[in-house]
């Protein structure tokens, strides 16, 4: 089994750049020759970024789980 890269190797930074959460200080990040910010929704597999730090906001568990989708159903 391959070993994980050590802490501080840039894994989270790379993930942030690829998902467009962070913009590079220099240069551009491209996927398939297209700048990350211009990649059309639906042309790539769905990506999720799960940060190492957990963020919990004041409120109920449901409010925390639906923070970005307040209209989400219980289903």
pLDDT for 26 equals: 93
Q: Are 52 and 45 in contact (CB under 8 A)?
A: no
pLDDT, one tens digit per residue, over 13-69 is: 888 888 788 889 999 998 888 888 787 777 766 666 667 777 778 888 888 888 888
pLDDT for 48 equals: 67
**C-alpha distance from residue 1 to each of 23, 28, 38 (Å):** 32, 32, 36
Q: Which residues pair with 30 in a beta bridge?
A: 35
Q: How does residue 2 score in pLDDT terms, banded at 50, 70 and 90?
A: low
Largest CA distance in the chain: 44
Indicate the pTM of the whole model.
Answer: 0.49
């Amino acid at each position: 089994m391959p070993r994980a890269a050590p802490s501080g190797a840039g894994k989270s930074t790379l993930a942030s750049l690829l998902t467009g959460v962070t913009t590079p200080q220099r240069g551009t990040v491209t996927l398939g020759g297209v700048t990350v910010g211009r990649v059309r929704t639906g042309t790539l597999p769905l990506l999720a970024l799960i940060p190492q730090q957990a963020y919990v906001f004041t409120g109920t568990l449901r409010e925390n789980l639906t923070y970005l989708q307040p209209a989400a159903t219980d289903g």
